[in-house]
């Protein structure tokens, strides 16, 4: 497999001296800032790490006016894809980039501020530059020199999951407070992106593939029948999952809404064996709606299935404990949702767990590539994943669990 995504082997021509000089002059508030020496633009990620942008990294040395010494900054440059395929299709109207720019420029700074005032913390990369014209781009200061590394697999223990539990609880709590006291967050929606178009097609084809694959398993005919019934109303069920709760039913928060092992970064212990801290990245899909959107992802897409099975109740308890504590420390003027309220949200939005089991669980067992979704229409029910003993054991157990909780009806 290629070490880097093909569309990131050559940076766009506009990523040049003039571009970097202009954005650094603005960022450092120094109109005389000058770049010193050369720099190299390299792919920032590995194939399959992201699906709605192209990303590059570089280290630039520069000199401020009136200073003899040089400084350097490591940058991550996130731009709109130009090559035909899934990446270009999903980002073609700039909506994802517009959302992420608003997050980094307005919403995240407000969240970080109120959390800090409450004695809490949310690690966020520093925004250097963002624009939709003349080029669609977000430039961030790289956190790699500070010891942060990309997450490329689900975490395998409650202890390693705890930083992510804390982070998503803080994110949700801060969003409630910010929405109440500072700015309206309720207009942030990703329903039209995740429940329509190419993404809906991706989910539908993945669900179909799953039905065909387990249809070959002896004794699973009744499961396939139930799943096909769900499949026939996939679009409506997704719409329902992402529909904002009315004031009389449940509650809403700003969800990250793309909360998976690929959208977190970790710090590891000195021996590299354990995750000791984590942070959220990639804010292109943030969505105002039920907290179940992210909490189901916490259970299904952040940790491995063994950890979910062993610590599900504890993870939910610790998430809610942190969420409620932070709201109380902030002085939230409203009813703080209870753990029972959260459990009700998870049940009401239970189709999301069905989707995670049928479509997403397999990605923990396959090699991700940057073009794998380009040919998703073809499907692959003969994928070796469906013969992986560990994967099959997980699916059998999860299907029974979904059945017993009424989520297949």
Angle value at C-alpha 65, between 63 and 68, nearest 5 degrees: 55
Can you list the alpha helix ranges (DSSP code H) found in 215-288? 221-231, 234-242
Q: CB-hemisphere CA count at 13 Å for 404?
A: 6
C-alpha angle 47-51-55 in degrees, rounded to nearest 5: 65
6 CB-near residues (< 8 Å, 6+ apart):
83, 370, 371
Contact 52, 80 (CB under 8 A): no
pLDDT in tens, the chain (409 residues): 455 556 566 889 999 999 999 999 999 999 999 999 999 999 887 665 556 688 999 999 999 998 889 999 999 999 988 655 555 555 566 788 999 999 999 999 999 999 999 999 999 999 999 999 999 999 999 999 999 999 888 999 999 999 999 999 999 999 999 999 999 999 998 877 776 677 888 899 999 999 999 999 999 999 999 999 999 999 999 999 999 999 999 999 999 999 999 999 999 988 888 899 999 999 999 999 999 999 999 999 999 999 999 999 999 999 999 999 999 999 999 999 999 999 999 999 999 999 999 999 999 988 766 555 555 556 677 888 999 999 999 999 999 999 999 999 9
Could you give the angle at the alpha carbon of 275 between the alpha carbons of 87 and 388, nearest 5°?
A: 60
Structure tokens at 99: 């959302």
What are the residues whose beta carbons fall under 8 Å from the beta carbon of 154, sequence distance 6 or more? 261, 301, 302, 303, 304, 307, 364
Tokens standing for residue 172: 């949700």
For residue 155, the 8-state DSSP code is: B
Q: Report which DSSP code applies to 408.
A: T
Q: Where are the domains of the chain?
A: 6-85, 97-124+151-404
Q: Which fold has domain 97-124+151-404?
A: Aminoglycoside 3'-phosphotransferase; Chain: A, domain 2 (3.90.1200)
Distance CA 270, CA 300 (A): 28
Q: Is the pTM above the cut of 0.85?
A: yes
Going by C-alpha positions, the residue among 56, 351, 6, 343 that lies closest to residue 194 is 351
Alpha-carbon gap, residue 17 to 35, rounded angstroms: 8
């Amino acid at each position: 497999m290629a070490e880097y995504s093909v569309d990131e082997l050559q940076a766009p021509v506009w990523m040049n001296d003039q571009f970097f000089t202009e954005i650094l002059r603005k960022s450092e508030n120094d109109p005389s800032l000058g770049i010193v020496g050369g720099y190299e633009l390299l792919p920032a990620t590995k194939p399959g790490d992201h699906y709605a942008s192209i990303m590059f990294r570089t280290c630039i040395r520069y000199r401020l006016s009136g200073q003899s010494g040089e400084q350097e900054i490591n940058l991550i440059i996130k731009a709109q894809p130009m090559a035909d395929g899934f990446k270009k299709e999903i980002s073609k109207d700039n909506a994802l980039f517009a959302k992420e720019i608003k997050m980094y420029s307005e919403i995240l700074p407000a969240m970080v501020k109120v959390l800090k005032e409450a004695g809490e913390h949310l690690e966020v990369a520093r925004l250097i530059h963002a624009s939709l014209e003349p080029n669609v781009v977000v430039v961030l200061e790289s956190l790699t020199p500070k010891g942060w590394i990309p997450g490329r697999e689900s975490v395998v223990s409650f202890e390693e999951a705890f930083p992510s539990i804390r982070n998503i609880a803080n994110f949700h709590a801060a969003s409630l407070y910010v929405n109440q006291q500072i700015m309206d967050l309720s207009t942030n929606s990703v329903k039209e992106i995740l429940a329509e178009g190419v993404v809906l097609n991706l989910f539908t084809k993945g669900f179909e593939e799953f039905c065909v694959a387990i249809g070959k398993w002896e004794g699973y005919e009744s499961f396939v029948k139930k799943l096909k019934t769900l499949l026939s109303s996939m679009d409506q069920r997704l719409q329902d999952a992402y529909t904002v709760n009315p004031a009389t039913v449940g509650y809403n928060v700003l969800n990250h809404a793309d909360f998976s092992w690929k959208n977190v970064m970790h710090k590891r212990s000195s021996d590299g064996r354990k995750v000791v801290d984590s942070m959220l990245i990639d804010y292109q899909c943030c969505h105002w709606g039920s907290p179940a959107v992210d909490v189901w992802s916490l259970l299904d897409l952040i940790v491995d299935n063994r950890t979910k099975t062993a610590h599900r109740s504890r993870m939910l308890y610790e998430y809610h404990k942190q969420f409620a504590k932070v709201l109380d420390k902030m002085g939230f003027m409203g009813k703080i949702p209870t753990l029972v309220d959260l459990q009700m949200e998870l049940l009401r939005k239970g189709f999301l767990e069905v989707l995670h089991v049928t479509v997403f669980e397999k990605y923990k067992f396959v090699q991700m590539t940057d073009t794998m979704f380009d040919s998703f229409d073809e499907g692959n029910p003969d994928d070796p994943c469906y013969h992986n003993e560990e994967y099959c054991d997980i699916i059998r157990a999860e299907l029974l669990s979904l059945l017993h909780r009424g989520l297949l009806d």
